[in-house]
Structure 1
């Protein structure tokens, strides 16, 4: 596994993606970051991403590179990549642009998925 996911994610800041899943799949595939036992490419479909992570857990357990999900595991509606220090990178829902964002009580993920 390579560790260039953060560089690839940061290079996407300001770019437009049609969905948060498309952005996350691009970063994970471009960096060749794979979850344990994963054999194929990351899917841009949010429900597929929940199945591709190594382990589902709580947000406070997250480590840089883990995926943060909003919604329930059976029906997530957004995903981002945890950077650390309460920050994540994702597609802003309002303008479809990749932005560095801060975890707040108004926009807090429901669960996380470990990628290692």
Structure 2
């Protein structure tokens, strides 16, 4: 006997008899099962076959491809349409810009032409007045003599009284009274007061009576500036080398000497 046998921690534990028997039974059962399976042989085992149906992946593929192609085509058409619209808008904008520039150019040209025509008319008016002054200067002595030897009576006196009563009234283009006048409106109203109907405008009034020389004026004669039939201004000779006329917006109706604005001619109605 070992000299350590009496020490419990060094002793081998005894196996339990029931556990040993159980293990032996289990081992025997396993061996028996293996033996039976071996005896049966491979001929007794049947192969297991199972068919798995895979889903058809291409069933919706053609539809999706067609839809994608159609969408792509539609996008292309939309882009092409937008490009045409953009090009049309650009063309229209350029045309509008060109038309506007042309309109501005024509307006400026028209404005310049009107300014040139106005300047030409004013120059012609100044020349006409200058010529009339020269003519009047040559006959001014005779005018004074004729005026001093004449006195207004009857209808002529009434016409002169009428126009003198309007001195100080305003000048308004197209005015026919009672407190504002233009030149021909005043002359027409004055002669209408004595029952004589004259044309409305200066051009016609300058030929409404008998043409008389500026050296033989009588009170009540109609004076005109410009040419007979195309006069641009009229007034009434009141005697004493003076006339009354609706001159312009800045002066209104005035009594002035013939030297202030010498007339071109005269007509006698009364």
User: Does TM-score exceed 0.5, indicating one fold?
Assistant: yes
For residues 1-116 of structure 1, what are the structure 2 equivalents within 5 Å? 2=155, 3-17=157-171, 18=173, 19-32=182-195, 34=196, 41-53=197-209, 55-95=210-250, 97-104=252-259, 107-116=261-270
Q: Is the 2:206–2:228 Cα contact (8 Å) retained in structure 1?
A: yes
User: Quick one: distance in 1 between partners of 2:208 and 2:251?
Assistant: 24
Give distance in 1, aligned partners of 2:194 and 2:229. 27
CA deviations on 1:43-95 (whole Å, 9 max, x unpaired) are 22112112321x11221211000001110113101111001111000012352
Deviations 1:11-42 (A, max 9, x none): 1111124321111001111232x3xxxxxx21
Alignment check: 8 A CA contact 1:71 1:78 kept: yes
Aligned structure 1 segments of 4 or more residues deviating by more than 4 angstroms? none
Query: Does 75-84 or 9-18 show the bigger shift?
Result: 9-18
**Equivalent residues, number:** 107
Local SS of the residue matching 1:79: strand
Larger Rg: 2
C-alpha distance in 2, partners of 1:74/1:49? 8
CA distance in 2, matches of 1:114, 1:4: 15
| Contact in 1 for aligned 2:184/2:200 (Cα 8 Å) | yes
Provide the TM-score with structure 1 as the length reference. 0.81
Distance 1:57 1:14 in 2: 29
SS of the aligned residue for 1:90 comes to strand
- What SS does the aligned partner of 2:262 have? coil
* Counterparts of 2:183 and 2:251, CA distance in 1: 8
Give, in whole Å, the separation in 2 of the partners of 1:85 and 1:96: 21
Gaps of 5+ in 2: 1-153, 174-181
What's the TM-score, normalizing by structure 2? 0.37
Work out the CA distance in 2 between the residues paired with 1:16 and 1:22.
12
8 A Cα contact 2:206 2:234, kept in partner:
no
Task: Name which structure has the greater RCO, CA cutoff 8 Å, separation 6+.
Answer: 1
